[in-house]
Structure 1
Amino acid sequence: MEFDQQLVVNVLKAGREYPYLPFSLHIFDSLTSTNQTAWNLLNQGKKSGTVVIATQQTAGKGQWGRQWLSPTGGLYLSVAITPKLEATKSYQLTLASAWGIASQLQKCNVSVGIKWPNDLVLDGRKLGGILTETKIHKGQITQAVIGVGINWANPVPETGINLKLWQESQDFQPIPNLEMLTATVLLGIESGLECLNIEGIGILLSRYIDLLINMGDEVYVNNLLGTIIGVSPEGNLRLRMAGYDTKELITPEISVEPGTISLGYCKSSV
């Protein structure tokens, strides 16, 4: 599949006050992992803003060491950055990217939401995901790679959805091709990181929560029922737990780390 790099560049440059582009694009037909290639390019001296794009991955990486199936037709990209962030706040990069991409897609009238912590959801099914990897030195993040996978025209499991078919079902096509989707995702990552750096985590988190599909959902933690009430700046899920003591109803709040519980997916309405 031919990928029109110049089309991506033109979209990214459109509307900018200055001709400088904060990204350097590297396009490949097939890679084991775009994240790994991005790290390799950083080790070779490439700078922040290096973007690796592949039309397929043979060993794509998901959260918690899972494999990310990456057949031809999807969007698989990684962005290398050098953030100024404490190591304990690394998850803010994922929050920023998820909000930025989702909000950019919403500007294109694609009704994407966020499923905590790092999934992009459309009509109750998984449209894409984000995997952030970091290198730490003396308690600071020196380098990071933000990997993104979005279903475009590739086959997906029952819990997944691809954007091309969804647009056809809606009888409109605000994102006509993979190149436009690529530019949209990169603009989203850029806007999310700008929000984090300029507005701060408080503003970013409020915007992230506005797009979170899990708010108000009830989940069980250690056989105790809790209601999702938000997300902490570290990316942890905030739950209000219902319980009883000997005298009165108590509703303590707890914080749950990513990977501790699975929120699952509802069935698509399509």
Structure 2
Amino acid sequence: MEFDRQLLENSLHLGRKHPHLPFSLHIFDSLPSTNQMVWDLITQGGKPGCVVIATQQTAGRGQWGRQWVSPTGGLYLSVAIAPKLDVTNSYQLTLASAWGIASQLQNCGVPVGIKWPNDLVLDGRKLGGILTETKVHKGHITQAVIGVGINWSNPVPETGINLKSWQATQNSQPISGLEMLTAAVLLGIQSGLKCLNTEGISILLSRYLDLLINMGDQVYVNNLLGTVVGVTTQGNLRLKIAGYDRKEPIAEISVEPGTISLGYCKSSV
């Protein structure tokens, strides 16, 4: 699958208010891992804004050590950033990226939501995901790589959806191709990080929650039924837990990403 660099650069120019491109683009047909390639480029002097793009990964990485299946036809990209955050706030980078990408795609006419903590959702199924990796020195994040995978025309599992097929069912084409999708993702990451850096985590979190599809969902934690009521500034899921009987007060707890799964429904198609 051929990737048109010039078309991507044109899309990025159109999406920005001024012509300077903050991204250094490195485009490949296939890579083991775009995140790993960015780390390799960083060791060779790559700067923040270094972007690696592939239309296939052979050893893609997902959250918590999982494999990210990355067949030809999808979008797989990673970007280097230099955040100024304490390590305890590292998940704010994922929240910012998820909100920024979902918001940018919504602006393009695709009604994308967010499933906690890092999934992009369309029509109740998984459209893509985000993996943030960091390097830490003395309790501070010195370097980070944000990796994004989005289904464009690649085959997907029952719980997934690809954007090209979805557009065909809508008889509309808000995203014209892989290059326009890539531009939307990069501009979305940029806008999410700008919101975090200039307006702060409280504003970013309120915008993230506006797009979160899990509000009001119920989930069991240690055999107790909890209702999703929000997300903390560190990215933990906030749950209201009812007492064992009506006399006991309702308590609130928070759970870290990776400790519970909110799941997906399988497609009936």
TM-score normalised to structure 2 length: 0.97
Question: What secondary structure is seen at the aligned counterpart in 2 of 1:240?
Answer: strand
Could you tell me how far apart the structure 2 residues matched to 1:159 and 1:169 are?
Answer: 17
The residue correspondences of 1:184-263 to structure 2 (distance < 5 A) are: 184-244=184-244, 248-263=247-262
Counterpart of 2:49, as a letter, is: G
Instruction: Please say if 1:173 is aligned against 2:173.
Output: yes
CA distance, structure 1, for counterparts of residue 18 and residue 220 of structure 2: 51
Where do 5+ consecutive residues of structure 2 fail to align? none
For 1:213 and 1:17, locate their aligned partners in 2 and report how far apart those are by CA, in whole Å. Answer: 31
Matches within 5 A, 1:1-270: 1-14=1-14, 16-244=16-244, 248-268=247-267
Give the conservation status (yes or no) of the 8 Å contact 1:123–1:268. Answer: no
RMSD, aligned CA: 1.2
Q: CA, structure 1 residues 179+99, in 2 after alignment: closer, same or farther (shift >3 Å)?
A: same
Do the aligned partners of residues 88 and 128 (structure 1) sit closer, same or farther apart at CA in structure 2, a change above 3 Å counting? same
Query: SS at 1:244's partner residue?
Result: coil
CA contact (8 A) 1:215 1:229 kept: yes
Contact residue 85 and residue 141 of structure 1 kept, 8 A: yes
The unaligned stretches of length 5 or more in structure 1 are none
Aligned equivalents of 1:104, 1:240: Cα separation in 2: 31
> How far does residue 209 in structure 1 lie from its aligned partner after superposition?
0.5
Aligned residue pairs total 269
Shift of 1:224: 0.3
- The answer to whether the 8 Å contact 1:123/1:269 transfers is no
Please give the secondary structure, in 2, of the residue aligned with 1:27.
strand
Q: Partner letter of residue 93 of structure 1?
A: L
Q: Distance in 2 between matches of 1:107 and 1:17?
A: 15
Cα deviation digits, residues 41-99 of structure 1 (max 9, x gap): 00100100000001100000001101000000000000000111111111000000000
Q: Deviations over 1:192-227 (max 9, x none)?
A: 000000110000000000000000011000000000
Q: Which has the higher strand share?
A: 1
CA distance in 2, matches of 1:254, 1:132: 25
- State TM-score, norm by structure 1: 0.97
String of CA shifts for 1:89-140, please: whole Å, max 9, x gaps.
1100000000000011111111111000000011111000000000001111
